[in-house]
Amino acid sequence: MNTTRTLRAVGVYAGRKVLNIIALVVGVIFVLLIIGVWLLAYHFSAWWWILLLPILPIGLALFLLYMLVRFLLMRVYPAQFTKEQSAALQQFLDKLMSLNDVRSTSPFMLIMTTLWELTRYRDARTLRKTINNSKTLKPDFERLNQFF
């Protein structure tokens, strides 16, 4: 059991997920910009193609940045994740993210959510989930450590 290798795997897995989401959003925006310029050039004037002069180098720079970050993630943890590793990493990251969500929630909102759940469901679900997640995070990390 190598804790450093496990922490690297968690970081790389989270980094890949975030990188893919960012790449998707930036790609959609870039395609919409190109379609917008094309529509302007088609309906009004060919001079609108000049707008691509700043857009295309920015797109190329963002693509190179994406490739650099992807390369660095592969250098940190070069092996592919198996299905079992991916499932364990996803479960562990979900717990980490839910704890982070609760931690960054203001105390007022946490109290209001707890009161709402007590009146609606007769159980403080969010509070119970946070307590259970924080209790099981260390055993989950030790179980995750066995995969690496």
Segment 3-61, tens digit of pLDDT: 778 888 888 888 899 999 999 999 999 999 999 999 999 999 999 999 999 999 999 99
* pLDDT bracket for residue 1 (50, 70, 90): low
Hey, where are the domains in the chain?
1-79, 82-148
- Measuring CA to CA, which residue among 69, 138, 65 is closest to residue 99? 138
- Measuring CA to CA, which residue among 53, 66, 68, 74 is closest to residue 27? 66
**Long-range contacts of 15-22, Cβ-Cβ distance < 8 Å, separation of 24 or more:** 15/69, 15/73, 16/73, 17/93, 19/66, 19/69, 19/70, 19/73
